[in-house]
Amino acid sequence: MINVLTRQRVAYLAVLLVSFLVVGSCENDVKQVDELFRQKITVEDFKGVTTYMSQSGKMKAKLTAPIMTRFQADTPYVEFPQSLHVDFYNDSSVIESIVDAEYARYNESESKVFLRDSVEVVNILKGDTLRTDELWWDQNTQEFYTDKPVRIYQPDKTIYGKGLKAAQNFSWYNIFNITGVVLTSGDGILQ
């Protein structure tokens, strides 16, 4: 009888020991687990891009860029690393303003475009030109804004300031902090 109890205890201890060894050896490599859950970023490159944007059947903008790169990630975005040019049209399909920048990044989920490096916005009808280093364009509100220094060139003056909010067609703008105004004659010469 003692022999049977001892064998049962030994068998029980053996099963218990093997169970601990199996459970203890089931450790995953952290790098492998992270790799399984890491989302892969898909990258698409396009060259010689021309895109038209319309609303209610009317053309609103034409975008051209030498290179466009689209990133499919947690937050998808599109980059224009070698410049961007946009023509904005009014309801009569006439260009009313243009935008140029050396770099742009479009955040799809927010419908916002970040423009930087030699940013220029021109109101074709009024002749006003905005120049700044950084500018945001909110596609939903159809407005530009920045907290960086700005220069607005008008036929008779140049306005310097910091921070701006403006309509996408540049028909109106609000400079938050005007730092100076230089009067010029109609040909751009200082008075």
How does pLDDT run along the chain (191 residues), one tens digit per residue?
455 556 666 566 555 555 555 555 556 666 665 665 565 678 888 999 999 988 888 888 999 999 999 988 788 899 999 999 999 998 888 999 999 999 999 998 899 999 999 999 999 988 899 999 999 999 899 999 999 999 999 999 999 999 999 998 888 999 999 999 999 876 555 55
pLDDT value, residue 184:
84
For residue 46, what are the contacts with CB-CB under 8 A and spacing of at least 6?
A: 67, 68, 69, 70
Which CATH entry fits the domain spanning 39-183: 3.40.50.2000, 3.40.50.300, 3.30.420.40, 2.60.450.10?
A: 2.60.450.10
pLDDT value, residue 185:
73
Q: Parallel, antiparallel, or unpaired for β 103-107 and 95-101?
A: unpaired
pLDDT value, residue 80:
96
Q: What three-state secondary structure class fits 73?
A: coil
Q: With the C-alpha atoms ordered 132, 120, 60, 128, is the resulting torsion angle positive or negative?
A: positive
Where residue 87 falls (left for φ over 0; alpha for ψ -120 to 50; beta otherwise) is beta
Q: How far apart are CA 25 and CA 168, in angstroms?
A: 62
